[in-house]
Structure 1
Amino acid sequence: MALSTTTLTVAEVITKAASTDSWVIYGNTGGENITGSAFADTLYGLAGADTLVGGNGDDLIVGGTGNDTLTGGADDDTFRYSYGDGNDSIADFGVATDVDILQFTNIALSNISFNALTAGAAQNITMTGGASIRITNDATANNGNMKVITSDKTFKLYLDNDGAPGVVGGSSLADFVLGGIGGGSTLIGGTAGADTLQGQAGSAGDVYVYRSDLAKVNALGANDTLSAAVLSSDGTTANNTAVEINLYDTKYTGVENVVGGGGRDTLRGSSLAETLDGGNGGDILWGGAGNDSLTGGAGNDTYWFGTGDGLDSIVAIGGGGADGATDADVYNFYDSTFSDLSFAYNGADLVVTVGPVTNYDALNIQAYNNAATNGAKIFQTSDLTFRLLASSAGPIPTGTTAVEYVRDFVGAGGVPLLDGGGGADTVVGGDAGNTFAYYADTARYIGGSSTLDVLTAATSADGVEINLYDTKYSGIEKVTGSTHADTLRGTSLADSLTGGGGADNLWGGAGNDTLTGTAGASDTYWFGTTDGNDTITAAGADASDYIFLYDVSDAHAQITSMGIEGADLVLHFTGGAALTIAGWTPGGSANRFRFEGNEFTWQITDPTAANAWARV
């Protein structure tokens, strides 16, 4: 016999539990008590406080206006609700294996809020305007058997149990996963579907498991984390697939922490303060605006930082810290040139400021110390790629032939040697004085504020040519050559030039300079009438040396006087310049002179005699 459907309008109590037909039953304007059959019934309460029981079968139950009590019974029932339908109660939503449907007519998801589950307690669903639906059965045992249809979304509803907060798992459908009020929930969308993961206002410490096709992550609590460390299929298996998470994307709201997986992840923060942790793998981390905390973890990570990015901090790279001290990390200052950067230490942390200090844009690299492994870190600007060798205390390791920025931040003589190791380096001294190892291809040598900075070529395998007038040098007061034939020239300031061995050319230039050759090496000292008051020391001067007076004629017209002053020979020149030969003796000190445009060599036989010069 075919199943039939009967329509009935009632005004009080009707029961069709024993019927073999499906029924469509309409209540009236009063409060009705209606019970359907064992088949698929449709029950309308209309106005008044109704009690509707669907019985078995896939029933449609519509309470209508008034505060109704609804029971679906066995099988997959649908409860339909519209604005103005009052405050309804559902007694058995999602029982056992039943997948019941809660359908909202012309009500969007954004106008609905859910409270989290508490074992043995009801579930309250509230609409904008204050109306509510109360699910009175303990739904914690049947979580996920709730399908919700709104005007803009269809999804299965998963709710955390406030009594035992933990993992809330989704399905392969479009799910709505809601965390607990107490916080500490782990929200998982499941294997697929445009899921929404949402926390509760006032909660804290929820974890939202990342999946690329999530529709929305709405973290309403405090200290919430979006994590790609595990797979959303089970919430426990490690995720080694690269992910890309950009908190500027509008699908993320209120996320304070992001954790990557084991792949090469790309994590970008928003304009607020966030914590980004790349996990294992060579990750890309960009905090964006706001004062962010960045941890790359194991692997060669890249950190992006630019103008307007606030005060970011890279967590503990030194000494095997959280960021992996041995990793070849990259710090990319993507919109800055090298000249835009300034470097300083705050305790053991290196602070790299972009632009004026008053802009408050700085990257704080924790524990960037004198470990040799820090030399593997790479800094990038729009015009230069380099390594930074620096320390807040103790010596700085020797550089390599790569481009490096070598700087003494210690001061007080704490870093005696700065050795870039060659390459187009920039080497910067501290304020207490340093010794700089010379390499011909070094781009810049910058001394500190003291007068104790020494540029030495003592380890050079060949003769060197160092001209402190070159703009690659600044703040260098002393130069020491190699053991080979060197050419050393000073600046317009007071310099000290030491040949170091070999037949050297020493020219102090303007300023009161000190020139020291090597005994027996046949050094040449250059001097002119505008070169200040220079001194050739007795330490290295002997009869094998020459003095070239490059702008003085062999008629000696530019020499206004000469004589013995104490143990020294002093020659005075027009314009006030003077050359002192310390510890001079006619046969034991520098006493061979050459003049401008003259191939002959002259000696001083007796500086007090009228005819003091003799050609040799």
Structure 2
Amino acid sequence: MTDRILKLEDLDGTNGGLLHYSDYRFSIKPSFAGDFNGDGFDDVIVGSPGVPTDAKFYVGESYVVFGKASGFDAPTPISELDGTNGVVFEGIDERDGSGRSVSFAGDVNGDGIDDVIIGASREGYVVFGSTAGFAPTLPLSSIDGSNGFVIDGSSGSVSYAGDVNGDGIDDVIIGAAGGRESAGKSYVVFGSTAGFAPTLSLSSLNGSNGFVIEGIEEGDNSGGSVSSAGDVNGDGIDDLIIGARNADPGGRDGAGESYVVFGSTAGFAPTLSLSSLNGSNGFVIEGIEEGDSSGSSVSAAGDVNGDGFGDVIIGAPSANQDPRDSHVRDGESYVVFGRADDFSATFSLAGLNGQNGFELIGRKFNERGDRLDRSGHVVSSAGDLNGDGFSEVVVSGRMYDPVGSVEAYVVFGNSGGFDASLNFDDLDGSNGFIIATREIWDPITGAANAGDFNGDGLDDLVVIEPDSFNPPYGRVNAVFGTTEWSVINTIVGTEGDDVLSGTDSNDRIFGLGGADWITPNAGIDTIDGGDGFDQASFDTATGGIDASLADGRAVAGGETNTLINVEGVTGSSFSDRLRGDVGNNKLRGLGGADTFYTDAGEDTIEGGAGTDWLIAGEFSSGADDIRLSLLAGRGWTGAAENDQYSGIENVSSGWGNDHLTGDHGDNYLSGGYGNDTLEGNGGRDTLDGGHGVDVALFAYDRDKYLITQNGDQTIVDYIDRPGAFDGPNVVINTEIFRFADGDFDPFTLKGTPGDDWLAWDPADTAVRTVDGLAGFDMLSFGDANGGVSADLDDQTVFVSELGRSIDLVSIEAITGSSYADVLRGDDGNNKLRGLGGADTFYTDIGADTIEGGAGMDLLIAGGFYENAADIRLSLLAGRGWTGGANGDQYTGIENVSSGWGNDQLTGDHGDNHLSGGYGNDTLEGNGGRDTLDGGHGIDVALFAYDRDKYLITQNGDQTIVDYIDRPGDFDGPNVVINTEILRFADGDFDPFTLRGTPGDDWLAWNPADTTLRTVDGLAGFDMLSFGDANGGVSADLDDQMVFVSELGREIVLESIEGITGSSYADELRGDEGNNKLSGLGGPDVFYTDAGADTIQGGDGTDRLVAGEFAAGAADIHLSLLAGRGWSGDALADQYTGIENVSSGWGDDNLTGDHGDNHLNGGYGDDFLIGAGGDDTLDGGHGTDIVLFSGFRRDYTVTNDGFRTTVDYTGPGADDGTNIVIHSEILRFADGDLIL
């Protein structure tokens, strides 16, 4: 165990040391460099972006420092790297800042030697490792494809990416936080054994050589930090993590986001948007509070909790535990655990709970009282520093406070679990330690895993430490890993049979040879039994354990112990889970309700006290059949072969066809999948067959047992010999009950091979299937206490009383209940019987017998599909003749609905509802108060007598037809809907259509004609008049319709050429033919089109809308004074009684009359003439001219800023007071006035 604080000033060459120093500061994050020179020692790389070269500023350099076994007590200048102890990479251009980001790159070119990647302002450089040696200096300008390659177009963070595409070659990732309007981009470049050109442009990434990862929102700065994430989802392929410190999850400004992108062997498109992450291809990790800047630094964390999945670490340096202190922030970091379970598309860091990861909280002051600031500015894996098999993480900050300092913090990994949060103040040497700076002015700016730098088998750290005021300004330190940081005791047995006990701390216990008994006690222990049959005992555990020999682990007291070469496990006095492996095992429970899992091998299972479960067999298809007996204490086949059992009460098996036998006690036997046989063997047993066709086996004849039902449970109790203890037994999910005298199926009601009447009994709650066998079989629900819904086609019936369905086999007929039922036939000959209630019957082809019984019953006849055969049936005759009704017989049916055919439905003398559905149907009520609904198509309602024997009225959409000739005759009133023709004995009557003759007609709408739907003028010039209407109309001869306000609906027009409106305000629109539009009273509006139209305004102030409202329309020339038009759509039109005119897009010429007119030219360059009266002349758009007949001196012209008033004040005939708007020129007899 180490001290709580490790001071850099205490490094003495044995535990680490100051390696190199420089006159220039290093970039904040150093990196492991792999074994760059192939000498067996891991190396490190650091960058120094501020180094000048040849009088060029901020060119930058990077340094790979080679690892070695000794010689760490004397630091040397970084400039003395000579190719044997390291190599210098010189930048190229001024302000490149080469080395601003550096990283291990993996083996990018597949030559077996590790490579590095270096970031500059506009380019990245991959430099290949080599065993051939290096010169002291390698200028990056000399990279030529053989010794590395240039990545053109990058700017920002660079990192190892792992093998993202699963091709066996390492890849790299480059972040560009400023890309896409600072949404950010990241670029993944795939490694290759095929070689590289000297330069690779990021614009050439096409999915096969790499791909682009695009940020989401402007200003997010995704790619500011990038890294491999390890294998987070456990699919065997490396994943990526990308930080976006300025993202705004949930509207929280600057909370930050990080994105885990899953690797894949399925290939990548050239571009992947981070907005497309959906849990299957990656997920988003959301920051918590506004301004946290989570994602400022991201990194793989290694396997921190020892579960075999890669974890990640995320820094949020601006997070603050005290929101009142906004100047100096504690900073937070977050370790998120990988897992095999599915990921949701988003994960909030606020949800870390110790099970899925944990939070690391910065501290405010160190032991000297120095102010600390922004932990999480740099985060990294630290490797396995203490050799315990778990990865550590290291976190450092950034100094913003001028009197502050920065430390680094190492947190140890473990499998014993983590709390939801860990404050760095609580690091005590057992869970991690603090790396303290030499002086307040020498803050640690970055720390990272250095690999095994000194070759002692343990990972080390590289720590960057600048001197803020005094040269040397940059220092590179190494901190060596040591097992002294691990609280682990080593206990070694002998080659004989040993009894070994661990301590209450962390132990490594080695049994060596012999049959050893090892008790680990408390702590996180590793037990290696060695040779022989070795057992691990947890009898001292203070709670239940979860041990798996297959997985090599045992969790006790929240701590995970590692089991190696262990064949047996003894549990605790509590409830344990003990799992074997494929070898021969011994699993022992002591007390509690234990669960044992066995696999192949000859196993001994001892349950001990408590009610214990044995899980036997494989849970996969194709598993071998299990045969075992708790009474015999052994197994015979499958995974149970040669197993021995004692103290086991319950058994569950897997996928095979298993045979499980209990003992004389109370057992629970579960067969799982497969066709299983379960035998309780005395006691109060529960027999659960699970899936498949299962058998419950009982020792005596059927009549020795009382069988009852309790919901889904069948209770089987042995009653022949009082005192004999066999039951009551509970049987579930089991199909066959096998007694000594034969099988019994409580779930199936069976008929005989002949014609059967089978009656369902409400007490038969266990029945799942009714099988009529051969013959014509009727199933009756006459005793049911609720309705049923039976479908002979699907062979099922839903019984409302049961709340579930019963399956039917070979049932041809159904009798329903006294409630409302739904009974559906199949395509055979069926008999469907209703008793009481409003039943619904569905028939198909086949000669069916339908008996409605009491209640108002509905028959659904015919096919509900196009081209269905026509139905002809009669309730009065009680039979059907054609289509799906052919050969059917009916009694007690009141209502009928048919389908797609052209059907003929006839009622009886009662009240019927006949619905034709689709098709052209004929409906005949045949007496009574009937409703005849034709549905879709051209339908006929058929009545027995002449038209004059009936009173026909309208009620909304309903036509009421009542027989009135002989009082007392009961035929009506009948309701007819959705029907086009009423057919009487003396002919058809269409109450919905007003028709003309083949000549010229004057057709007048009568307000009493409320049923009218269509007016058809036939041939000739036909005029439709609404002179008697009690409200305005809106007629459109182009669309062939008229809206009648009095009706509140439209009437369809056919072959109508003229319209006379009402005495109210009408809107009358012509078509392209010759029309006559007449208004009577009210302010009417007329719309004309092509054709020689006659427009009669009538009383009221009426408006003519002439011309087309589209570019390119013909010019209109018309005169109300002349009462005619000459061009465009007004050509050959005639007008009377029109006061106002509007025209469209043409250059129009509009002339009024001697009255008061309103002329509107619309679009175009128009010419307007009032022609006397007080006129309003509106030119509209364009350059418009208003013409006056007199001289300029005869008019007074005034303008109020919006309109111009032109008042005639001269001698002779009065030209009125005229209002001119939207016009540019007033033209008088003696010249123009420009407005």
TM-score, normalised by the number of residues in structure 1: 0.39
Larger Rg: 2
TM-score, normalised by the number of residues in structure 2: 0.22
